[in-house]
Amino acid sequence: MLNTLTSTALFSWAMFPVYAFQGVRVRMRIERMLPAPVPAAGEMSGNSEPVRLLVMGDSTVASVGMERIEDTLAYNIAKAVNECTGWPVRWRAAGGNSATASDIRDYILPHIEERDWTHVALSVGINDMKNFHVVRRFKRDFGSLIYALRTRFPQARVIWCPIPDMRQCPALPRQLGRVLAARAELINAMGTRMCHERGAIVTDRVPPQQHNAFARDGFHPNGEGYRIWGRHFARWIAPPEGESDPLPDAAMPEVTPLRRSA
């Protein structure tokens, strides 16, 4: 595994001129879209103790380019959990366009009100990858973000979704997509390690998405894309019947897993 990651790192740095040249061209060409102008919190009814869900992250959590609350990520995670379990869900979204792991740690988390969140869903790493942050920097920033979350919300399950395959993005030229996919592999490996060491849950990557799941900029998800992401996150909040609890053994304090009511 180490040799594979070393080769990936060497490849990505060898391709840095391609990243710089094509990245500038893509930035100049694609539309710069704004975060969704919708409420950042909501509630869905049910018949048990509520899931109290905090969704934190980058432009995906800000649901850039969307106009309706029904097309946003936090809403769709909450909706998927509510529909598959019947649990009530109280949710809150806290995302920043272009936010990196350190931005979320330093500028978003400190302004989250104190609440007894049961779950914190994280979508972070894409901007660290896109900005070509070295893995050592991501280790420091993402690792300390997990520490900060675990300290402030000690009873919450922290769930991180790794970076998806960037080669799917319609806006990215093939070579740029390959370079970013290589950087994502490095970020994802370190993020997974930090989660395992510091008591967070790692999901699988979001399933491959077709072009019709992307917004008009060809980079961010659209409403359909966020529904896919929402259903994906929900599997780690409310595992389907027959699947094991994803909580790492002995990695968290005593937290009672939520279960479907009979």
* Nearest residue to 43 via CA among 108, 88, 84, 4: 88
Q: For strand 119-123 and strand 89-95, is the pairing parallel, antiparallel, or unpaired? A: unpaired
Q: For strand 51-57 and strand 89-95, is the pairing parallel, antiparallel, or unpaired? A: parallel
**What backbone torsions phi and psi does residue 51 show, to the nearest 5 degrees?**
-80, 125
Q: Are 166 and 184 in contact (CB under 8 A)?
A: yes
CA distance 148 to 107: 12
CA distance 19 to 179: 7
Q: Are 96 and 62 in contact (CB under 8 A)?
A: yes
Q: Which region among 47-51, 87-91, 241-245 has the lowest average model confidence (pLDDT)?
A: 241-245
Instruction: Report the run of H or E that residue 52 belongs to, with start and end.
Output: strand 51-57
* Nearest residue to 216 via CA among 67, 39, 1, 105: 67
And the tokens for 70? 């029904």
Quick check: 257 pLDDT over 50?
Answer: no
Instruction: Mention every residue, 6+ apart, whose C-beta is less than 8 A from residue 197.
Output: 143
Confidence of residue 4 (pLDDT cuts 50, 70, 90): confident
The DSSP output letter for 168 is G
Put simply, whether the predicted model's pTM sits higher than 0.75 gets the answer yes
What integer pLDDT is reported at residue 59 of this predicted model? 95
Side chain identity at 64, as an amino acid letter?
V
Q: What is the pLDDT of residues 128-179, one digit of tens each?
A: 999 999 999 999 999 999 999 999 999 999 999 999 999 999 999 999 999 9
CA distance 73 to 96: 13
Q: For strand 89-95 and strand 41-44, is the pairing parallel, antiparallel, or unpaired? A: antiparallel
What integer pLDDT is reported at residue 241 of this predicted model? 65
Quick check: 89 pLDDT over 50?
Answer: yes
Q: Are 218 and 173 in contact (CB under 8 A)?
A: no
Q: What is the pLDDT of residues 98-122, one digit of tens each?
A: 999 999 999 999 999 888 999 999 9
What integer pLDDT is reported at residue 250 of this predicted model? 36
The angle at the Cα of 120, spanning 58 to 130, to the nearest 5 degrees, equals: 25
Name the residue with higher pLDDT: 27 or 179. Answer: 179
Which domains, and CATH codes, for the chain? 2-237 (3.40.50.1110)
CA distance 2 to 4: 5
Mean pLDDT of the chain: 89
